[in-house]
Structure 1
Amino acid sequence: MKSELRFQIVVALVAVATSTLTGYAVSQTAQQALASPESFASIADTDARSAAMFTELGKVLTHPRCTNCHPATDRPRQGDEGRLHQPPVTRGADGHGLAAMRCSICHKHANFEPGRMPGHPEWHLAPREMAWEGKTVAEICTQLKDPARNGGRKLEELIHHIGEDTLVGWAWAPGAGRSPVPGSQKQAGALVEAWVKTGAACPPQ
């Protein structure tokens, strides 16, 4: 009888633990999702709807995967905590590092998982004028609308840049030890497209 009772208790505990873990996994998945442009349809005012969509996109743009490579200084950052890059490298004239310490020396064409080294064929820092580190979503929005500070891009070109560029896409598959940005690159691209088509309004400062 006691054995049967113990068995029932163990089964019950396993069920509770499984339910808890499943709920946690679901909540984590939900937490990492990006809202679709359609989910903002109830906002009648076009500017307010546009700004709300950019605020949602801000979950991506202000994530360490993006801000680490859009630093406020000439030195990139690393990790989810945004620590200064080690070894102590600097931007260089073209964003690919100094002559003696090019990004490509360590960062190869793809992630190197045994060493947890991120990689991409075009690994480099964003230009100085595209620094996002420490800025609000509203400030980044204003910056992205300015060709002098967005890489010379028209608004329509941002749709492809954020939604399809493979270096930007690395942020969704950063490799072991690094959290990816929320949602998917396709979802982010859809938000940018909807934001542009609704007038590219920015959130209030």
Structure 2
Amino acid sequence: MQTLTKLTLAALIWTAPASAETVKGLRTPGEFDSIADQTARSTALFEEMFVVIESPRCLNCHPVGDVPMQGDAMQPHQPPVVRGVGDFGATGMRCSTCHGAENVTFTTGEGSIPGHEPWQLAPIEMGWIGLTAAEVCAQLKDPARNGNRTLADLHEHNATDGLVGWGWEPGEGRTPAPGTQEIFGDLTQAWIDTGAACPAT
């Protein structure tokens, strides 16, 4: 009975190590330390990155066609817009026509107009909607399809780019991307450090 009491007490006071936790729906790199095989750990880290990548905050601006999506339901952009030259919208209907340097909350009703300088679609080579984790991973590692970025460049983009960071501060009426940009950057670096392996599917 005394042993059971001690075990029960230990179970009640046990807490996960500080390095291993989940923050706002995203696991930190420390959560994967127990995976001994480096390739398996790298793959698991990318799959956790994919939790962010497949968020509407990311996918809406990474369409595989010329029309951005919007909202948590990923509906076609209203008013109707197209990619245009340079991914900034068509002449006369540039992204900056409505999207300023910061989010603007509606004065009547609910919601907001997202904003960041610049506001634009990801290049069509970086379209993600409908792709698997394996397909997105291969794309991110391919300089011909990732904006000619090295893995170090990719980490910097994920960890510090302001437009990427908007996904966690999307304005009223939108669900933020899981976790934080800092954790997303940490996951990216941990994925790179373990060999930048891609999932099989």
Coarse TM-score class (shorter-chain normalised)? 0.7 to 0.9
Structure 1 or 2: larger strand share? 2
RMSD: 1.1
Equivalent residue, structure 2, for 1:10: none
- From 55, 73, 77, the equivalent of 1:63 is 55
- The CA deviation string for residues 101-148 of structure 1, in whole angstroms up to 9 with x for no partner, is 000000000000126100001100000100001111111111100011
Equivalent residue, structure 2, for 1:177: 173
Equivalent residue, structure 1, for 2:148: 152
Counterparts of 2:33 and 2:162, CA distance in 1: 30
Alignment of 1:34-183 (within 5 A): 34-114=26-106, 116-183=112-179
- Are 2:182 and 1:186 aligned? yes
Aligned residues: 176
Percent identical across equivalent pairs? 53
Counterparts of 1:134 and 1:40, CA distance in 2: 27
Structure 1 alignment gaps of length 5 or more? 1-29
- The CA deviation string for residues 156-200 of structure 1, in whole angstroms up to 9 with x for no partner, is 111110111001000000000100000000000000000001100
Equivalent residue, structure 2, for 1:25: none
Counterparts of 1:104 and 1:118, CA distance in 2: 11
Structure 2 alignment gaps of length 5 or more? 1-21
- The CA deviation string for residues 6-28 of structure 1, in whole angstroms up to 9 with x for no partner, is xxxxxxxxxxxxxxxxxxxxxxx
DSSP-derived class of the 2:72 partner: coil
DSSP-derived class of the 1:56 partner: helix
Q: How far apart are 1:31 and its partner, in Å?
A: 7.8
Alignment of 1:185-204 (within 5 A): 185-204=181-200
| Preserved CA contact (<8 Å) 2:23 2:179 | no
Q: TM-score, normalised by structure 1?
A: 0.84
Q: How far apart are 1:36 and its partner, in Å?
A: 1.3
2:79 corresponds to which letter in structure 1? P
Counterparts of 1:31 and 1:163, CA distance in 2: 16
Q: Which has the greater radius of gyration?
A: 1
Q: TM-score, normalised by structure 2?
A: 0.85
Counterparts of 1:62 and 1:143, CA distance in 2: 14
Counterparts of 1:84 and 1:106, CA distance in 2: 16
